[in-house]
Structure 1
Amino acid sequence: MAKYIMWGSYCENVLEKRAPYRQAHLDGLTKQKAEGVLITLGPTKDTTQVFGIYEAEDEATVRQLVENDPYWKNSIWTEYTVKEWIQAF
């Protein structure tokens, strides 16, 4: 399977706005991790961007995961890009 990186942006006042959706978001990520599709995901220290690494059949699978996340559905993540990634080391 191919690996993909996801870069995204957070909304303004993310720490306050994410609160109602945080547990559902974390539960979904835990499930993706257990299924082996999510390698890692997290915010930048300044909480302006999110970075993730996925292992999936195709880019469409990653996009579906992102767009079904409560953070995307509730505009906590405001934009994102997905690129196939070649792990050199």
Structure 2
Amino acid sequence: MKYFAAFLPMKDKELSDKYRQAHLDFLNKLKDEGTIPAYGRFVDGAGGLVIYKGESQEEVEELVKQDPFVAEGARDFEVHEWALVSDHWK
């Protein structure tokens, strides 16, 4: 299993506000399934970061595209494979 960092930069604040709860519900579901070990927003309002576990970047990008923030045009996204050094959240 590999780790991936998904950066979700702000695209439309109004849409982000509108779809925030759906986004959080989506993340919490994947967290409960063990796919997302950590996520959070940037305090300066620039967007957020989600850490995914997956087999490939393509697999994770398909999940990210299902996030209501991305699907509804509130956020853009970038996904990068991430070399985990410390896993304090386990």
**TM-score, normalised by the number of residues in structure 2:** 0.83
Does the Cα contact within 8 Å between 1:37 and 1:54 map onto a contact in 2? yes
Paired with 1:10 and 1:37, the residues of 2 have a C-alpha distance of 23
Q: Which residue of 2 aligns with 1:38?
A: 36
Where does 1:1-89 land on structure 2 (aligned, <5 Å)?
1-12=1-12, 14=13, 16-77=14-75, 79-89=76-86
Structure 1 segments unaligned to the other structure (5+ residues): none
**TM-score, normalised by the number of residues in structure 1:** 0.84
CA deviation string 1:8-45 (max 9, x = no partner): 21124x2x432332222111111100111111122110
Structure 2 segments unaligned to the other structure (5+ residues): none
Paired with 2:50 and 2:63, the residues of 1 have a C-alpha distance of 11
Paired with 1:19 and 1:64, the residues of 2 have a C-alpha distance of 23
Amino acid at match of 1:7: F
Identity of aligned residues (%): 31
Relative to its length, the structure with more strand (as a share) is 1
Cα RMSD (Å) of the superposition?
Answer: 1.5
